[in-house]
Structure 1
Amino acid sequence: MPLSDDQVAELAAARDRLRASALRAKADRPVSPARGIHHTALLSGDVRRTVEFYQGILGFPLTEMFENRDYRGSTHFFFDVGNGNAVAFFDLPGLDLGPYAEVLGGLHHLAISMETGQWLAARARLDAAGVDYLEESGTSVYFKDPDGARIELIADPLGEMYGEVVV
């Protein structure tokens, strides 16, 4: 159900209050104690299909594959998404997980930055593979991977979104 104009205004006011109390100017922010995202782990219903999609269509090299330490028989595998970052997957054979669903606390989408030329090439490979996508603002394409997870390829540099510095 869409929000009313009053509800949208209330949410905007709450966001403005939070921004005023919690967001610090870049010069006043502490340095993050983190080094970066080591990996984000998603679920795969079919290892070969996932490899063909992420390596074959998106162009992200498969870098490692081994048995998942938490679930016997399961494969844990990784793709290089640049800058020392990885997207990882688990398959969970024998478990009937059902179809992908967006839920509170779950994944909304994974955004991966690409240099513009690489982004254009990936978009062309999506076209060639018949993958439906939504292009936004001339720099983002949103699509679903073979298991339904929403992925965004964004041509904006790391730390920027649509001309705004976000880091």
Structure 2
Amino acid sequence: MATIDQLDLSPPHAPKEHAIEAFEHVEHKIKAAIIASRHDWDKHEPKMWALARSTSDHDLVHWTVKDDLVVVRVAETSYGAIILGKIRIRAIKLDSAGELVPGPVEKDEHGKIKVEMKHGEIDDEKLGFIFVRVHDSPGDGIENVKFHSLFTDEVHDSEGHETGVYRAIQMNSKPLEFFNE
């Protein structure tokens, strides 16, 4: 297993065709892992998914790779490519401090989750994100792509000390860095 010291991780960038195809190949596994993680953590550490506390499972995974995979980073290894992705969760509305904005998820007449727009684009600064790691083994096509993990971040207090609280949902301002969970 690679460590950050062994990797040459690309700068964050918009996903290209191969990354989109790779994430689409495992989209159902990512969504299943999100729901399973939430249910598991809610049993013994509900703070992990606290930002989704008023969001249904359906709304939590109501995203598509094509529309909501907004940033990727890639590192080549001897055993294939590691692809990190930042996926927008439209149902999680956050304030400037990264705290949950109370209230129900608003939907339009077609059942799509409404989001705030800024200059004609989705205002990502007010939404939550999930960071995902996938692995693309050497070989032809995307059939070798496997879901690896979801990122969880330890919350630090105002002085930078660890609090023992972890978050599965991140703010857009959180950089997409290597993780090996």
Between structure 1 and structure 2, the one with the greater Rg is: 1
TM-score, shorter chain, exceeding 0.5: no
Q: RCO (CA 8 Å, sep 6+): is it higher in 1 or 2?
A: 2
- Using structure 2 for the length normalisation, give the TM-score: 0.24
